[in-house]
Structure 1
């Protein structure tokens, strides 16, 4: 073999050996809110840990602020493999795994600690596993916090104050039933449409955790905030089986552990906003009210017909086990 051919053969062999080391898999991650939100905090932490621990074999590309569409569209993209990962609210998850709806029952959780213990325990983990059956890999429960009501009509202190209120909700049958029972006019709407609808007066208000209300600057388009804490709102970190099934077990474990740490960062963000959010929104000019214990009891009483409906859809023993969790 001539010197030239020997050198060429060596170069080709070197390229073949080096190619696997250079191979990267792009992880497109879509989420509904801004990079500065709790979604962005979790997505950035997830990215940081995965890229570091896989030595750059996986590289994240972010599509925040509904850059890939509404949450239902993004979840369907994860199923199809056109989107590799997402962080989503629980709002549309019941359309894929109905059992997730149990966590949306109003006034089910006492506080954030109670909710986190349920989600991280057997009940929450059993529901995560059910996503395998619908073409989704659910790695961890994230969090948004307790949901509160904003509107441009009036402050809310009783169920009667909600009569006829055109309130944007997620595509969630549990929420729809609750607000219909309270006499409001719930209007399911994808998040990207909400700000415009509030500006135009198509709807009177919406309901979301403080983490969303603050990060989305809803004070720019809403006058009243009622700290109602009517529903705890989890989130979820999902990966497409199309990319998951190509990973080694080691890389799958890296993604799973990094997701758990990302949830820790997300919950830390929520804790911070829960402490400061009301004052932040007051400073931004919102009229802020808060339901008293007696007010909450009146809402629970008004929701009695809705609870009877929930018991026909969800296991009463499971609901009682959630309530009894210490």
Structure 2
């Protein structure tokens, strides 16, 4: 069964490579970059800024593939690890199955919700910039940049203000064990689903809710089938750009430095883009639908969710052991410094 599935995966990737004329040569003139979002979304903005820098500072070209063009998140990661793609952008929500420590971003109420503090954290964090690259390298990936996209917002089939009101509700989560643990702690029934199935599952009441940044709720039209927005302030959606490690190591020193500078430039430009984006997206949602409700939890209501967070932190340590504890300690120290 496993062998049959493995052969099918190899055949599928070979088909993609043949169809698109992919080359795995490090000196290829055209490099290929796939991400998880639609045209104009945050990952697409980052990819195009990355592309702009590379094409301005070298003879290389960058071809960008958006969500669905080469499959789902798991597909583009497999293609990157196989060397079919040179670059990929994927959130720890999916990468967590490869790198358990990356699930740290899904411990609720660990990250602040103040945008300036969040951006400063990603710029200065030792955990993000020093610890994570080695973890990604073990999976054949060169981590270029981790960056935030937006505060996570829950959408549900009815307004809720407490964990008790989530009881019995199936909430879609990414294929991430710790995110499942979060929604179990919140009182819901976590239901892993690939993104392509979420809209239909909400529409048919197969699930009763999901979480995403506001811009993605607007872009994907999720508010049309899940119109009750709940601001719980429990975390930020984080993502990462990376390269195939063999490809990156095969580049000249000059090209490696150029790629790193492209990632820094894309980060800086994307942080400008997300400033005010949530407010603009929410305004579009309200303008598009009279059915939308917005519930912003009070400090007292948030406390009811927050008191359940230690359960998830404990699960993270159980998953990752002493190394995970050290990473969490560094993470907390970095967050404290970033907020000062």
Aligned pairs for 1:91-240 within 5 A: 91-110=93-112, 111-120=114-123, 121-130=125-134, 131-151=136-156, 153-240=157-244
Counterpart secondary structure, 2:276: helix
Q: Matches of 2:162 and 2:316 in 1, distance apart? A: 22
1:324 to 2:329 alignment: no
1:37 to 2:37 alignment: no
TM-score normalized with structure 1 length: 0.86
Structure 1 residue 64: deviation in Å?
0.7
1:296 to 2:302 alignment: yes
Q: Quick one: which of 219, 240, 252 aligns to 2:256? A: 252
Q: Matches of 2:30 and 2:185 in 1, distance apart? A: 46
Structure 1: runs of 5 or more not aligned: 1-22
Aligned pairs for 1:9-88 within 5 A: 24-54=28-58, 56=59, 58-88=60-90
**Which position in structure 2 is the counterpart of 1:19?**
none
For 1:65-108, what per-residue CA distance to the aligned partner results, in whole angstroms no more than 9, with x for missing partners? 23112212211211110111111222112222222222221011
Q: Matches of 2:271 and 2:223 in 1, distance apart? A: 23
TM-score normalized with structure 2 length: 0.83
Structure 1 residue 185: deviation in Å?
1.0
User: CA 1:214 to 1:243, structure 2 compared with 1: closer, same or farther past 3 Å?
Assistant: same
- Structure 1 runs of 4+ off > 6 angstroms? none
Counterpart secondary structure, 2:236: strand
Equivalent residues of 1:159, 1:302 under 8 A apart: no
User: RMSD across aligned C-alpha pairs, in angstroms?
Assistant: 1.9
Counterpart secondary structure, 1:257: helix
Structure 2: runs of 5 or more not aligned: 1-26
Work out which of the two has the higher radius of gyration on C-alpha atoms and give 1 or 2. 1
For 1:48-72, what per-residue CA distance to the aligned partner results, in whole angstroms no more than 9, with x for missing partners? 1101100x3x212221123112212
Equivalent residues of 1:89, 1:144 under 8 A apart: no
Structure 1 residue 311: deviation in Å?
4.2
Equivalent residues of 1:225, 1:287 under 8 A apart: yes
Q: Matches of 1:166 and 1:308 in 2, distance apart? A: 23
Equivalent residues of 1:219, 1:281 under 8 A apart: yes
Equivalent residues of 2:199, 2:225 under 8 A apart: yes
Structure 1 residue 129: deviation in Å?
1.5
